[in-house]
Amino acid sequence: MSPIRYRDAGVDLSAGEDAVRRIKGRVAETFGPHVLTELGTFGGVCTIPGGDPDLLLVSSIDGVGTKLKVAAMLGRYDTVGEDLVNHCTGDIGVHGADPLLFLDYVGMGKLEPEVVERVVEGMVRGCRANGCALIGGETAEMPGVYTPPDLDLVGCIVGTVRREDFVDGSGIVPGDALLGFPSTGLHTNGYSLARRVLFEAAGLHPDDEVPGTKVALGDALLAVHRSYRPVLRALKGVMKGAAHITGGGIPGNLARILPPGVDARVDRGAWPIPPLFGLIARYGEVPLEEMTRTFNLGIGLVVAVAADRAAEAAERAGHGAFVVGEAIPGTGDVRLEGEPRW
């Protein structure tokens, strides 16, 4: 069998990066003096015109991707809404923001009220756990666009942070330590490749057990995206920068917070990679570079702290942090070294 890559499953990360490059200048044409960040940060940041100049609004919008196909396959929709809230909370949380409000979009070819109810139940659970209000949304019935049982799910989050508590990585310097916090699985990225490998190429069934665990494959794939809000709140005042490891993996996301003159050196052997990722790599003969760029590989959040405060930060945050690397002099690149612990 030939190695399977993300583009073989229909997802071209390079095309996505090219699209952002193409639109970045046009998008900036809409910015006023109240907009404080460029396109490409985890959350867009602005002040409220006429309001407190030191109160920043941080917002983000995202989906859960083709994890929805797994939910449809198993007929289980009660977790994907929670995934969505936790993903969005992480994207603004890395800037130090606490969530304020959440909005959702559910699109279906044929409206199934029971499915919508299950999805929203998950969102409510996520919003309550993260301290934000689900204040509205849109449910769209669009035959011909969505084919049952497929659906689409998107969430928009808005949070706040005081200017003095805002975090963007600009304070990272060579010598700082990089702490990695474990994920609960694939979270909400890489599912097109995972499904292509596991269900199509390998012919596995959702009830099959993931080797090395006592967990069914379907359950492992639907494991809820971890909320990193407790970690990020515990590290306020300590973290210099934080990267939510989503699409693009560690290299694609960690690079987003590196200031000029700083590289990140990451030791791929610093943490054990959960068996689910090894299963995908093995059955799909997926190259290591492709696995690294597509999946979080067991680390869902990377936080930069001063080296002499790394032990304190790990203790404060809990949740089994690993020292996964360090900041070094460079040009804003992420250098991956060492052999992964499959």
CATH number reported for the structural domain that contains residue 263 in this entry: 3.90.650.10
- H or E element: which one contains 279? helix 275-284
Higher pLDDT, 259 or 17: 259
Residue 18 in domain: no
CATH number reported for the structural domain that contains residue 127 in this entry: 3.30.1330.10
Domain boundary, last residue among 165, 194, 229:
165
For residue range 84-94, list pLDDT tens digits in order: 999 999 999 99
Count of domains forming the chain: 2
Residues 196 and 62 placed together within one structural domain of the fold: no
What is the residue range of 145's domain?
31-165
CB atoms under 10 Å from CB of 306, counted, come to: 17
Q: 5-14, 38-47, 109-118, 121-130: which range is least confident on average? A: 5-14
For residue range 286-318, list pLDDT tens digits in order: 999 999 999 999 999 999 999 999 999 999 998
Q: Phi-psi bin for 287: left (phi > 0), alpha (psi -120 to 50), beta?
A: beta
**89 touches 130 (CB < 8 A):** yes
Residues 53 and 109 placed together within one structural domain of the fold: yes
Residues 189 and 330 placed together within one structural domain of the fold: yes
Residues 184 and 318 placed together within one structural domain of the fold: yes
Residues 110 and 248 placed together within one structural domain of the fold: no
Q: Is pLDDT above 90 for 96?
A: yes
Residues 197 and 145 placed together within one structural domain of the fold: no
The pLDDT of residue 37 is 84
The pLDDT of residue 134 is 98
The pLDDT of residue 14 is 85
Residue 1 banded pLDDT, cuts 50, 70, 90: low
The pLDDT of residue 312 is 94
Residues 99 and 191 placed together within one structural domain of the fold: no
Residues 47 and 195 placed together within one structural domain of the fold: no
Residue 110 in domain: yes
153 phi/psi in degrees, rounded to 5: -145, 125
Domain boundary, last residue among 165, 187, 209:
165
C-alpha to C-alpha distance for 294 and 266, rounded to whole angstroms: 16
Q: Is pLDDT above 70 for 124?
A: yes
Residues 277 and 302 placed together within one structural domain of the fold: yes
Strands 55-63 and 133-141: unpaired
The pLDDT of residue 171 is 95
Top-confidence range, 33-37, 147-151, 228-232: 228-232
Residues 139 and 206 placed together within one structural domain of the fold: no
Residue 19 in domain: no
Q: Is pLDDT above 90 for 82?
A: yes
Over pLDDT 90: what percentage of the chain?
88
Q: Is pLDDT above 70 for 105?
A: yes
Q: Is pLDDT above 80 for 232?
A: yes
Average pLDDT, the chain: 95
Stated pTM of the model: 0.95
Residue 323 in domain: yes
Residue 201 in domain: yes
Residues 181 and 314 placed together within one structural domain of the fold: yes
Over pLDDT 70: what percentage of the chain?
100
Residues 160 and 244 placed together within one structural domain of the fold: no
The pLDDT of residue 2 is 81
The pLDDT of residue 186 is 98
Interval 143-157 mean pLDDT? 95
C-alpha to C-alpha distance for 34 and 194, rounded to whole angstroms: 41
Interval 138-165 mean pLDDT? 96
| Side-by-side strand order, sheet with 98-108 | 44-46, 55-63, 151-162, 98-108, 133-141
